[in-house]
């Protein structure tokens, strides 16, 4: 089967969709399918020949149309309207994975969002969470995101973990790193054993470092900057818990899976798909609620039995969430769409 995988961004750009696009393209190719990836991202210092599939970066209109005509099926890993027009001239089965809300950040629905919904109505649709599926106006197959089990895994017994809380994510206001720092300040003020490692980088880093100083906990808060996947795994294996205090409704939340795979019990926010990701292995709190976040963190450091019970639930929460599991389910949808069969 010849699969044309369309993605707005791809390596060397860094982000969730970029990682998932590479993972899926690799999985499809490893299953013997011929894969071509179309993207706006330039190669820069990446050697495209090292991939097990063909890269088509910023294609000309004629090259884009030719790629569609050569394909048996077209798969958009998150809908990319700039690359949708060839389907008007080269009719091919279309599968779209929806990875975020079809709306603006403030909830408004723009003309582009309306157009996206119209395109979805003519495609086979995959939602990355039940929350996304409920948000859409068309039926979809829910296939939760996965984590890379070859990168993120548990190497360190709990008794050997010397640090308490980690935060992993881009340092922007929506991710709530400031709430994590405020939480640690409260626990430290109460005399609780608490520290925080902030893993990631972004425009809010300087403000967050200043916040830690202003709260008098600069020695308890450590900033690593941006790390590679294996480096993040190493950091997480030094911690017992992870805070995922996103202010906005995360469509899913792979960071919770990655942290759990590394043996960390997560505290996540309620809106969106983070609760689905954590399952019975995490504590769920309202978005933006510092009091609830601090209460959950306090519960974990003070109640060893509760923490142990949540940690024991991690294997069940991660069941079926490996990258190979997700790849098989995506291929099932794509193969059925290519064959003209109804998607189950």
| 23 or 107, which is more confident | 23
Fold of 158-318: Rossmann fold (3.40.50)
Q: Per-residue pLDDT for 231 more than 80? A: yes
- DSSP assignment of 206-266, as one string? HHHHHHHHHTT-TTTEEEEES--HHHHHHHHTTEEEEEE--SS-BS--HHHHHHHHTTPEE
Tens of pLDDT along 66-115?
A: 999 999 999 999 999 999 999 999 999 999 999 999 987 777 889 999 99
| 266 or 20, which is more confident | 266
Q: Are strands 141-142 and 54-57 parallel, antiparallel or unpaired?
A: unpaired
**CB distance 37 to 53 below 8 Å:** yes
Q: In the structure, what pLDDT confidence band is assigned to residue 268 with cuts at 50, 70 and 90? A: very high
**Average pLDDT over every residue of 273-285:** 97
Tens of pLDDT along 169-180?
A: 999 999 999 999
Q: What confidence score (pLDDT) does residue 108 get? A: 86
Return d(Cα 13, Cα 17) in angstroms, integer: 10
Q: Per-residue pLDDT for 342 more than 90? A: no
User: What are the residue ranges spanned by the domains of the chain?
Assistant: 2-146+322-338, 158-318
Contacts of 74 (CB under 8 A, 6+ apart): 4, 6, 68, 87, 92, 93, 94, 95
Q: What confidence score (pLDDT) does residue 19 get? A: 87
Cβ-based burial of 253 (10 A; exposed 0-12, middle 13-18, buried ≥19) = buried
Nearest in space to 23 (alpha carbons), one of 329, 339, 337: 329
The domain 2-146+322-338: what is its CATH number? 3.40.50.2000
CB 114: neighbour CB atoms within 10 A? 11
**Average pLDDT over every residue of 139-153:** 94
| Cα Rg, the chain, nearest whole Å | 21
Tens of pLDDT along 24-39?
A: 999 999 999 999 999 9
Instruction: Say what percent of the chain tops pLDDT 90.
Output: 92
Contacts of 8 (CB under 8 A, 6+ apart): 17, 39, 40, 78, 80, 82
Least confident span in 1-5, 185-189, 249-253: 249-253
- Return left, alpha or beta for 305; rule: phi > 0 is left, psi -120 to 50 is alpha, else beta: alpha
First and final C-alpha spacing in the chain? 19
**CB distance 316 to 281 below 8 Å:** yes
Topology alike, domains 2-146+322-338 and 158-318: yes
Q: Beta partners for 312?
A: none
Q: What confidence score (pLDDT) does residue 166 get? A: 99
Q: What confidence score (pLDDT) does residue 344 get? A: 58
Six token digits for residue 100? 């975020």
């Amino acid at each position: 089967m010849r699969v044309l995988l369309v993605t707005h961004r791809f390596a060397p750009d860094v982000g969730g969709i970029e990682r998932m696009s590479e993972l899926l393209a690799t999985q499809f190719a490893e299953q013997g399918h011929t894969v071509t990836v179309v993207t706006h991202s330039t190669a820069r210092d990446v050697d495209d020949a090292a991939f097990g599939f063909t890269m088509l970066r910023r294609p000309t209109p004629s090259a884009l149309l030719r790629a569609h005509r050569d394909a048996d099926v077209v798969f958009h890993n998150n809908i990319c309207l700039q690359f949708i027009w060839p389907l008007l001239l080269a009719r091919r089965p279309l599968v779209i994975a929806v990875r975020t809300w079809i709306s603006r950040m403030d909830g408004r629905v723009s003309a582009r969002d309306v157009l996206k919904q119209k395109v979805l109505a003519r495609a086979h649709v995959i939602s990355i969470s039940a929350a996304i599926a409920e948000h859409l106006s068309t039926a979809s197959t829910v296939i939760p995101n996965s984590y890379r089990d070859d990168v993120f895994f548990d190497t360190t017994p709990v008794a050997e973990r010397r640090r308490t809380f980690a935060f992993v994510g881009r340092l922007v206001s929506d991710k709530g790193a400031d709430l994590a720092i405020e939480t640690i300040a409260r626990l430290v003020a109460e005399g609780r054993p608490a520290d925080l490692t902030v893993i990631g980088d972004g425009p809010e880093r300087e403000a967050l470092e200043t916040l830690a100083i202003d709260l008098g906990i600069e020695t308890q808060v450590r900033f690593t900057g941006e790390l590679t996947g294996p480096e993040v795994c190493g950091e997480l294996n030094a911690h017992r818990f992870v805070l995922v205090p996103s202010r906005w409704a995360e469509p899913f939340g792979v960071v919770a899976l990655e942290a759990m795979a590394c043996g960390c019990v997560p505290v996540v926010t309620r809106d969106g798909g983070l609760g689905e990701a954590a399952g019975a292995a995490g504590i769920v709190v309202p978005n933006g609620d510092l009091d609830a976040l601090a209460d959950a963190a306090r519960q974990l450091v003070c109640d060893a039995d509760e923490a142990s019970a949540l940690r024991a639930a991690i294997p069940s929460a991660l069941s079926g969430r490996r990258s190979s599991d997700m790849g098989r389910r995506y291929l099932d949808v794509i193969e059925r769409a290519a064959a003209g069969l109804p998607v189950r």
